[in-house]
Amino acid sequence: MVTIREEKITDIAARDVLLDAAYGASRFAKASERLRESRVPADGLSLVAVDRGRIVGTVRLWHVSAGPGCAALLLGPLAVDPAHRNRGIGSALVRRAIARARLAGHRAIVLVGDAAYYSRFGFTAVRTAELWMPGRYDRDRLLALELRPEALAGARGLIAATGAFAPKPELNMLIAANDRRSRQARVQRAA
């Protein structure tokens, strides 16, 4: 059975392997990544899907402003292990993330993604016509969901990161993380 829970620090290596499989190296070139790098995600809004002890899905939400003075969250990256797709895991992660964000009093969520997928959760481009992401992205893929009525009414300008800065990792921590990730990838390939 698949369960959705908050991400723990010990999930990070498996999550990285999952994201590498879903997006490859291009994940670091995405416009959304410019809003996530060096920041910590919003509290309680990093979720993973776990199947028999294994991380099979991930989603995170991040603090941004949708134009000056308009607090919102950015959703992403969302990924599900290729072997576990089309079982409703991606939808369960997004729905849980939305519900938790609403409960925590957040006002709106923006993302860059396929409208054909995200429209089922209520995301549309209606409120994003006057918003811009940093870097290159496809305008049709900039979508938003209001958690409070009119939360993005009049939203205009650059979407900017507003989350707390992540502590700078030390070199030995980066090397250890890279080793953990290689080990995890080997285990998953062998499974």
Ligand X SMILES: CC(C)(COP(=O)(O)OP(=O)(O)OC[C@H]1O[C@@H](n2cnc3c(N)ncnc32)[C@H](O)[C@@H]1OP(=O)(O)O)[C@@H](O)C(=O)NCCC(=O)NCCS
Residue nearest to ligand X (CB): 90
CB of 88 to ligand X, least distance (A): 5
Q: Which of residues 85-104 bind ligand X (CB under 6 A)?
A: 85-91
Tell me the torsion sign for CA atoms 127, 132, 138, 142: negative
List own/partner pairs for 97-105 with CB under 8 A and 24 or more apart. Answer: 97/45, 97/47, 97/59, 97/61, 98/145, 98/147, 100/44, 100/45, 100/47, 101/42, 101/45, 101/61, 101/73, 101/147, 102/147, 104/42, 104/43, 104/44, 104/45
Decide: is 22 part of the binding site for ligand X (CB under 6 A). Answer: yes
Q: Which of residues 27-46 bind ligand X (CB under 6 A)?
A: none
In the bound state with ligand X, the residue whose beta carbon lies nearer, of 115 and 160, is 115
Residues 143 and 32: their CA atoms lie apart, in Å, by 12
In the bound state with ligand X, the residue whose beta carbon lies nearer, of 12 and 18, is 18
CB of 40 to ligand X, least distance (A): 21
CB of 148 to ligand X, least distance (A): 24
Among 39, 65, 96, 113, binds ligand X (CB under 6 A): 113
Among 6, 37, 43, 114, binds ligand X (CB under 6 A): 114
Binding site for ligand X (CB under 6 A): 22, 78-80, 85-91, 113-114, 116-117
